[in-house]
Copies of this chain bind each other. A is one copy, B any other.
């Protein structure tokens, strides 16, 4: 078992519900990371749907979660031949903290044409890039994720301002294999690129995050590139790409978030 596996405690209490325990091991400033929560909900939903892989996963965060006991209630939307869909809601103190609404399928059973109109984000070799975590000191998340930022892409960490994009390499410290579910965590493991665009120190809570898992990733480092194009009156989009060690696009993410001072 890996640290990530250990951090998703689920005890099934009926066909569609679970008792759960939200870990304190993936927190940033004491609040569980949104990618970890998305991973958590998708892992529960995996037990309810017959297909193995998350294909498109939307997580909508209604209230902050906290480490400790929770319940998960699932709903099956559809079970089809090639894909199935459902919902997993996580509740604490009787209130919904977030819900994952997702479609599952089998990434190994895809058939059809391939046309790629994009390129791998250019990045120097990983062993030339020093590790540097972008979250506030003391974040438990930072102890479990090895992040190597592309040079020059995180000026906000030094009090500077620059383009609202950043990226680099990512893996889990304990070498948990990178699987389609881990990509949900990796899609929200980076500092918000919008922090490069504003001078204030802000918090960027995610309202909705959608991840498309497009391929089963090869073993090794994942490269990520994240960009905010429109910060409008404190609301923003954030688009991400995750590429595997074989130079294949493995996931796309987009979130809607707000700047909070």
Contact = CB atoms under 8 A, between A and B. Distances in A.
Which size bracket describes the interface of A in this complex? 35 or more
A20 interface: no
A237 B258 contact: no
Contacts of A197: 113, 115, 117
B254 A232 contact: no
Contact of A259 (B112, B212, B249): B112
B254 A210 contact: yes
Interface string A206-229: 011010101100000000000111
A171 interface: no
B232 A249 contact: yes
- The copy count of this chain in the complex is 2
A79 to B, nearest CB: 10
B212 A237 contact: yes
A200 B113 CA distance: 10
A96 B110 contact: no
A229 B161 CA distance: 29
A165 B111 CA distance: 22
Contact of A214 (B60, B111, B214, B232): B232
Contacts of A163: 117
A231 B115 contact: yes
A245 interface: no
A77 B58 contact: no
A99 B60 CA distance: 14
12 contacts: A55-B256, A62-B77, A110-B232, A112-B259, A113-B198, A114-B231, A115-B231, A117-B228, A117-B229, A118-B229, A212-B237, A214-B230
